[in-house]
Every structure is written in C-alpha cells, then in structure tokens.
Amino acid sequence: YELLWLPLIAQSSVADLAAPLDIAWVWHVHMLSPINYERDCHEVVSTLVDHKILVGKQREMGLEKARILWTKAYPGEPFEVELNYPVFDVPSFESKIHYDIAQACSRQRVFYYQVSLPHYGDEKFLKNAAERYKHHLLLKQKDPEAFLVPCYDFDLIWHAHQVQPIIYRKDTLQILGKVLKHDDSVNDRRPGSKLTVSDQLTRQKWSLSGEKFELTGAMFRGEPPRQLHFVSVDYSSLASREYTVQLVSLEVEGLPDSKSYTVQMDVANGGRVIKKSVKGPAADLRVYRNRTCSCFKKSLDVASEYYFLNYLDTLSSSGRDATSHPVRHEVTINNEQKVAFTTIAYQRRPLGYVFNVIPEEAFNCVEDVTQILSTPTLILSPALLAQSSSLSCEVAIHRLVDYRHREAFTCRVMHSALLQLSSVEIINNTGIVVSTAHVVSGDAIPQIQQVSDPNKCCTLKPEDGERAVLIRGKKDWGICIGKWHGFVKGVPGVSGVKGTKGIRGVRGTPGVKGTPGVKGTPGVKGQPGRLSLKFFALFGKQGWKQISQTSQEKFSINLLGGTSRLNVDLRKGQILFPAEIQDVPEAISLGFAVAILHLLCQPYNPPDASSYMLPSAGMQSQEGRPRRIHNEDLALIVAAGFFCGSVPTNSYYKHTVGGGGCAGCGGCGGCGGCGGCGGCGGCGGCGGCGGCGGCGSCGGCGGCGGCGG
C-alpha cells in the first residue's frame, strides 16, 4: 500500500482505478482518519490521493486497468495475493505513515458488525441516515469544540463521505471551516468514560434542537467475539440413514426332528415379512418383499439378539457408499439352534437429523455470568459488564441425544431477569461452544416504518410484545421473533337475580305484585392464545422464511425451500430437520429459540407480583382451569427454563420494569378466563333461577290484584 500502490496511483492519470482486496481494505481504513490520511499522503507522495467508490462492473473495469499499470510498473510483484496463504516475513523498512493502520483495521471489525444487518442497505433507512448526518454536522457547526458521537446509521454515512477524501475535505471546510476529525479510537463504554459522557452530551444537544438522537436499528448491539479460525465439522454421522438390505439366505441348524415347520419372519417394528408352513428338513423357501421399516422400535419376544445395526454402522463409518458382496451373520438361540443369515447391504444417503432434549428441571445460581458465557461482550451491555456485582444468573445444562439416543451435544440455558438475559449455548462433545442463541434488545432492530422493503429487512415491534432471539454460529445466522397471539382475558359473568312471586289478593284485600327478575350477563370465555413466530435468515438467501404451526406445540420452519423444513415439537422435546440443512448446531439453537420465545412471550398470572419471572408460579395458579397450556408437560419448554426463577418474561417487564407485552390478570384463563364464576352464564348467568323473570315476574297469579283487587 505505502511503497507500491500510493506512488502508482498518485502518478497515474488514469481515472477510476480499483485496488486489490488487501490494499483496498488498508486504504479504506486509512481514509477513515481524514486528518492523518492527508498528512500521511503528503509524507509519502506529496499530495492528497483521492479515492472513488466503485462497485460491480465499475470495480471490475477499475481492477483490470490497475492490473495493467501495476504489471508494467512492478513486473516482479503479484497484483493480487492469495489471502489464504500464510504471511511471509515482510522486509523491514521505515514507514512514513504515522497512523496505526493495523490497529484501526481491528477496530473496524466491531464497526462492521454493527452495520451488517440487512436494513443498512435499505434505501429509506439510508436516506434518513443521511439527513441525520447533516443534522450532526449542523450541531458540530454550532459547537465546534464539542465531542459529539454518532449513532451507527449516520456513522455509516460519515464513513461513506470520508472515503472520497477531496470531496470530504471541501465539504467540511465549507461547513465547519476545517476538516472534520473522525476519531474511532474512543471505544471505552464504561460509565464515566469519555464516550459515555459524550453520548449524554450528544443526546442533550439533539433533544434541545428538537430531534431524537437514538434510533431503533442504529444502536450498539454488542461486540462480536474474536474467532479467527474455524474447523469445519461434518455432522452427518449424527443423521439417521436409510439402507437397502437384501436377505440372501437364512439357515437354521439344530431344529428338532420333524417333518413340518412354520417359518415366521418379522421386522423390528412388528411388520410381517413371511409366515409359512413347510414340510421336510430340506425345505426351500423363496420370498421377496420391498418395504421400508424402522430399526428402533421392538415388539418381539427375544430369545437371543444380534445387533445387525452395528454392522450397518460400519458401512457408514468406513465411508463406503455401497457394498455388493454377501456377508454372513451368525447367532445362537437358547444354546440350541444356530441361525445364519447372509445379506447384501447398500448404504443410502442420510435421511435427516432427529435430536431429543433430556431436560434438567433444576436451574442453579451462578454468581458471575461472565465466567460461563462464551460471548459476554456480545450479549451484555458495557454498563453491565462494568459492574463488579449483580451479575448472577440461573443456569441448567441439558443433554441432547440423536436418533439412537447417543449424546450428541449439551445445551447450556441461562436466564437473568435483572440482566435482561436469556441465552442458549450448544456445546459439542469436545466442550466447544458451536452455536448460541440470545435475546436481543428492541433498539438493535428497526421498526417496519423505518424501511422501504420490509420483505428484505428484519423488523421488530417491541411495543406489541414482540421479542427477538439472535442465532449465531460462526457468524450471525438468523433472527427469530415471537409474539403471543390470540390471548383473551376471561371476564366473569354476572348472575341473574330471581324474581319474587306475586301474592293473590283475598276478597277486599289487594294482592302483592311480583318483582321481575334480572337477567344475568354472560361472561367472556378466556383463551390462552398461542405463540406466533417469524424467522429472518441471515445465511444463504437472506429473508423471511415460511413458518407453519400444525398445533399449539408444533412448529415447522422452511429454511431452504422445498421440503427442507426444521420441525420443533415442544411436547416431545424434539428438533428434526433433513440432511440438506448442514448448519446443524445453528438449527438446534433455532429449535431452542422457539422454546425460549414461548416462555418469554406467554402471559402469566402469578399469585404475587414477585413471581412474574418464575413461569411455573404463574401456571400453578391456573391449575384446574380448562384450556390452560400445560407447560410442565412440554419437554422443550421445561428445558428452556419453565422452572427457572429468573426469566425476563414479558409479564415481568410489564409489571416490574414497565412496558412490554400483554400479561394482565386472567392470563391463560385466569380470573374467569376459563369462563368460571358465571362467565359461561352459570349461577343464573343465563337467567336461570328466576333470571328469565319467572314465578310471578310478569305479575301473573294475582299480580294485578285479581278478584277483590
């Protein structure tokens, strides 16, 4: 960059040159410190080197023009380097560049993460960001000495302005009378730091000018973990497989002397292959059946076992796609008969993954969550991380077994209502966290009115009770959004009042008129509602994925199109998906995210206000009521934290913090939500027991005073 590229482009009269990727990145970062960039350019090539943003075909043409110039000027130096090759020792030289570009490059890693969600490419969002950037310049014009900090939306616009150095210099000189300094080295977010104090000052100035500084989708969303090297893992051994097995022959030795036998053959799940009587010791049977069966459900009386599946496993582990030679298998039954059978087996493709969670009900308290979280800087705010206390949470670890009940992963679930933390970590059998899912704050995702194309951007409505969970593997993988839908708070009915019977008068004495009854008012039947889900994929073809719900407990997410669906069964604690979905840990995290959202969004009605973060307490008060959701019987909900005592539920936010989702009394049928207390019209609610005004309510039987009245 310094010795070859800057001199080449400074001396060239060719327009619109594009740098190779390694140089382009260093150049980009250098320009983000405009004052240092101008000084360093003058030191190296005695002029301010301009830059122009080129994309698509323009960049391809710019690269080709630059390649020609480079090859001519530096015939022994490759124009592009293979970035996957190891870095060789760089010859030492005395650099004229004073700015620490290498350190600045590492800071851009964090910046890029903040602006990597799709809405940062949305036209409406960016136009609004450009207007906010202009307002930032206006505030700087009014108070040149103030250190004002940007939100990430217009910080991105600021960056785009700076990478056109001559235009940036001209514009800021005209507006501010000097080149506007951009200092991205101020990153300490602890309370009392320069950044924190400046943030408060900036908010005040925006507020005094009649504008709002903070913007959903433009705020700090955590620091991504430093993970530079990833080992690609093949999880196909965990997938169930289909085999074609040809049973060539079956031989039995040691049968009693008899002239007739019955041959019966069943598969493990009870399906009948053959049952036939034959005569003679040399009987020969031939049968052909073509069918699919399961190897994991036994219903036979077993005298002796031979695990044929172990043999099939050797085909899978050896990597052989097929074997065409016959293999003989032998087993002895009751120490008397010897059975030998010969097979030819062909391995087929993996069918899919079936994972079952073995839930651990008990959640244990951990004093410092940062000691167990794999990515604390991503999940917890800088203010929380700066605290020396109150970082406790509740944790449970569950086993995740595959289709053969072999332990495949462990799952660590953590909750803290105080820290607003709900997190899931999927851990492989070597103890490495391979995927995570955690609740993200509402200010990290824009609202639908902020973007021009909601189909291409993930949006959130926190005021409607929506909660979002970010799923990560090697990088951000998807965002799952949940909202409780269809909840109806029960309203008790009002019992009818029985009318009084009139008294017939006697001769000379008037009767007493009956009193009409009051008709009861029917109540409103409560409905527990259900979880409504949305999923925005950040892998492959980004966008919203179709979700179907076959019942209150089963969800199906179409991840790759066609039949490639992730199926989540909350009751069984089961996560299933086809082999085409290769991001296995991330898919498991998504399954847990569904359960976490079910737990957070569901309205609760606990017996006391201190129990809103204990979901099981809210459900205990509903025992015996019809239509309630039996969360305690849903294995994946139990694993997600149903018995945890510190879950940041919507009910907790509404009644303790303020705001958030629905959770009022009567949740899931509470307080008449089931139709009790006359809600269905009972106890006279339908007008019974006089509720219709019977027994004299119309004044009959002497109500008018009758003879002698």
| pLDDT for the residue numbered 22 | 93
Q: How many CB atoms lie within 10 A of CB 145?
A: 5
Q: How many CB atoms lie within 10 A of CB 389?
A: 7
Q: Residue 622: what residue type? A: Q
Q: What is the DSSP string of 484-549?
A: EES-B--B--B--BPPBPPB--BTTB--BPPBPPBPPBP-B--B--EEEEEEEE-SSS-EEE-EEE
Q: Which of 51-65, 216-230, 478-492 has the lowest mean pLDDT?
A: 216-230
| pLDDT for the residue numbered 320 | 53
More confident residue, 328 or 9: 9
More confident residue, 275 or 193: 193
pLDDT, one tens digit per residue, over 598-616 is 999 998 877 777 788 888 8
| Location of structure tokens 């602006």 | 115
More confident residue, 89 or 45: 45
| pLDDT for the residue numbered 410 | 98
| pLDDT for the residue numbered 50 | 97
Strands annotated E in 562-665: 565-569, 574-578
Q: From CA 22, how far away is CA 41, in angstroms rounded? A: 18
pLDDT, one tens digit per residue, over 531-572 is 999 999 999 999 999 999 988 899 999 999 888 899 999 999
**pLDDT band, very low/low/confident/very high, at 288 (cuts 50, 70, 90):** low
Residue 102 has pLDDT above 80, yes or no: yes
| pLDDT for the residue numbered 672 | 32
Q: Residue 284 is encoded by which pair of tokens?
A: 């020969």
Taking the CA atoms of residue 9, residue 15, residue 21 and residue 23 in that order, the dihedral angle to the nearest 10 degrees is 20
**pLDDT band, very low/low/confident/very high, at 300 (cuts 50, 70, 90):** very low
Q: What is the DSSP string of 297-364?
A: ---S--SS---HHHHHHHHHHHT-SB--S-EEEEEEETTTEEEEEEEEEEEEEEEEEEEEEE-----E
pLDDT, one tens digit per residue, over 52-77 is 999 999 999 999 999 999 999 999 89
Q: What is the DSSP string of 260-310?
A: EEEEEEE-TTS-EEEEEEEESTT------------SS---S--SS---HHH
Residue 297 has pLDDT above 60, yes or no: no
Q: From CA 222, how far away is CA 444, in angstroms rounded? A: 9
Range 441-452 average pLDDT: 96
Cα angle 474, 475, 479; round to 5: 125
What percentage of the chain reaches a pLDDT higher than 90? 53
| pLDDT for the residue numbered 658 | 61
Range 140-165 average pLDDT: 97
Q: From CA 570, how far away is CA 595, in angstroms rounded? A: 7
Range 249-255 average pLDDT: 77
Residue 497 has pLDDT above 70, yes or no: yes
pLDDT, one tens digit per residue, over 427-443 is 999 999 999 999 999 99
Q: From CA 416, how far away is CA 423, in angstroms rounded? A: 9
Query: What's the sign of the alpha-carbon dihedral 496, 502, 503, 509?
Result: positive
Residue 666 has pLDDT above 60, yes or no: no
| pLDDT for the residue numbered 515 | 86
Range 357-373 average pLDDT: 93
Contacts of residue 466, defined as CB under 8 A and 6 or more positions apart, other chains included, come to 460, 481, 482, 483, 601, 661
Q: From CA 28, how far away is CA 503, in angstroms rounded? A: 100
Residue 101 has pLDDT above 60, yes or no: yes
Range 292-316 average pLDDT: 61
Q: Is 330 exposed, middle or buried (0-12, 13-18, 19+ CB in 10 A)?
A: exposed
Q: From CA 594, how far away is CA 567, in angstroms rounded? A: 11
Q: Is 317 exposed, middle or buried (0-12, 13-18, 19+ CB in 10 A)?
A: exposed
Q: Residue 535: what residue type? A: F
Contacts of residue 654, defined as CB under 8 A and 6 or more positions apart, other chains included, come to 612, 660, 661, 662, 663
pLDDT, one tens digit per residue, over 324-363 is 688 888 888 777 778 888 888 776 677 899 999 999 999 9
Question: Of 441, 450, 446, nearest to 460 (Cα)?
Answer: 446
More confident residue, 517 or 314: 517
Q: Is 144 exposed, middle or buried (0-12, 13-18, 19+ CB in 10 A)?
A: exposed
